[in-house]
Amino acid sequence: MHCWARYLLYLIIATLALGQMVTACGQTGPLYLPDDDAEARSQSAPVPGPDTSNEGLEALDDVPVVPPEPDNF
C-alpha cells in the first residue's frame, strides 16, 4: 500500500520541473560567456546617482494641505 503523500510529492516535483522547463523556453539568443574586456568596460562606467531634479513636482502644488487635528488629551 502506497502513501498519498508520496504521490503528492512526485506531483509537486514534476510540476516544478515542468515549470522550469517552460520558463526556460523564453530565453532567446546564443548562450555564451561574456568577454573579460566587456566586463572591465561595464565596471568602469559611472553609476548614475539619484534624480535630484524637481521635474514633475509641479503637480503637487495643486494638492490642498490639510492641517493636523490638535490632540485633545
9 vs 35: CA distance, rounded Å: 42
12-26 pLDDT per residue, tens: 999 999 988 888 766
Q: Which three cell numbers stand for residue 5?
A: 503523500
33-52 pLDDT per residue, tens: 767 765 556 566 566 766 66
Buried b (16+ CB within 10 A) or exposed e, 32-48: eeeeeeeeeeeeeeeee
Mean pLDDT value across the chain: 76
Q: Which three cell numbers stand for residue 72?
A: 485633545
Inform me whether the pLDDT recorded for 69 exceeds 60. Answer: yes
